[in-house]
Structure 1
Amino acid sequence: MKNLTRFLFLIFAAQILASSCSSIMKTYSYKDKKTDLKQYKTYAWINLDHFVEDNKKGNKLYAKYILDLANQELKKKGFILDVENPDAVFLFDTQIENRIAYNQAPQVSVGVGFGGPGYYVGGYVPVAGGQITQENYDEGVLFIEMYDTKTQKLVWRGWAQEKISFTTDLETDIRRAVEQIFMRLPVKHK
């Protein structure tokens, strides 16, 4: 009984430790296979007007911060800001999506079996575990898109998503998201 109690305590401690760890940011990108991104050297931003209105309503509070970080990353890649005649235009947006995750606790079982000459009988009896729990959480998504100004077609998109909560340090996570998204932009001008 003492070993079973110790074992159940270790399972409980492992679940607490796993749930207290911070979530992992996932980043993705898409590139149009027909397009050589090295041809784009100048850029501008489009669709920034809605951020001003959303900011007045209390939404999109980090839009200016994201824009500044993105400009820094584009400058590191050798892009030049040109609002008059850019080769490419970028836009970005943020979303918070409600998600549900289902988890199942490990099934702890005890095996019981016996056999005889020519006949074998076996089975197991579940002792504990196997409970399914539901977790509601919010996932923050930042995406940045790049369009060709002549064809107006999407040539590259990068996005990051991460589980967020009231303890999330949004400024640090946004900085990391912008850096990781632009690491996936496969071009660097000298």
Structure 2
Amino acid sequence: MKQIKIILLASIIILLTACAAPGPNVNFDKNPNINISSAKTFAWLKESKALHISAGFNPIVKVRIDKAIEQALENKGYTFVTDTSKADLAVSYTVGSRDKIQIDSYPATFQGGFGWGRGYYGRYGRIGMSTETHVRNYTQGELAIDIYDVKTKQPAWHGWATKKLTKDDKENIEGLIKLIVSSTLANF
């Protein structure tokens, strides 16, 4: 009986964890050979600003990402300049999404009825004999921001964030963009 309670508790915890809408998964890498500590200005690497955008991407969302990156860097004390040759840093980004499938298997839940007699304890069989499988389709979005040292023309920093996109995210796209950009640039 104790094993069944443990299995049920573990299943509930896993289910609640899987259903929660987690924040973005953020990471970064920096070039140890490039010192940008004295940098004060930034510009876009290319006029288009993004290095790559998935086909069919909403151009209004792109403009929002452009503005969010500029604002986040200005909030960190950098000054935006329009001429890349006069900037200390050059910035670009890549954005896209990918449809994914998540498959989870759990031990079969406790089955059976309650009452007096043989069926009182239900049917639980042997542990490991049967499983329940749940299949979920979801979209994972990704934003990667690249910062280059203009003097050396070398990459200085690369940060990226991935997130499962929920219905709430799609309804509040501006808030999502600000969250992703600020989370990604937090380590810069």
Same fold flag (TM > 0.5) = yes
Is 1:25–2:24 an aligned residue pair? yes
Amino acid of the structure 2 residue aligned with 1:28? N
Matches within 5 A, 1:36-115: 36-49=35-48, 59-84=58-83, 85-106=86-107
5+ residue gaps, structure 2: 111-124
Is 1:176–2:175 an aligned residue pair? no
Number of equivalences = 166
Contact 1:94 1:142 in 2 (8 A): yes
Contact 2:41 2:88 in 1 (8 A): yes
Distance 1:128 1:170 in 2: 44
Q: CA RMSD in A?
A: 3.4
Distance 2:155 2:46 in 1: 15
Alignment correspondent of 2:119: none
Q: Secondary structure at the match of 1:171?
A: helix
Contact 1:108 1:129 in 2 (8 A): no
Identity of aligned residues (%): 20
Offset of residue 167 of structure 1: 3.3
Distance 1:17 1:126 in 2: 22
5+ residue gaps, structure 1: 110-123, 186-190
Alignment correspondent of 1:188: none
Alignment correspondent of 1:134: 135
Distance 2:49 2:66 in 1: 13
Distance 1:38 1:7 in 2: 52
Distance 1:75 1:129 in 2: 56
Alignment correspondent of 1:115: none
Q: Secondary structure at the match of 2:126?
A: strand
Gap change, CA 1:61 and 1:68, over 3 Å in 2: same
Distance 1:67 1:174 in 2: 10
Gap change, CA 1:101 and 1:82, over 3 Å in 2: same
Moved more, 8-17 or 142-151: 8-17
Contact 2:107 2:127 in 1 (8 A): no
Offset of residue 155 of structure 1: 0.7
Alignment correspondent of 1:159: 160
Distance 1:31 1:6 in 2: 47
Which one has the bigger strand percentage? 1
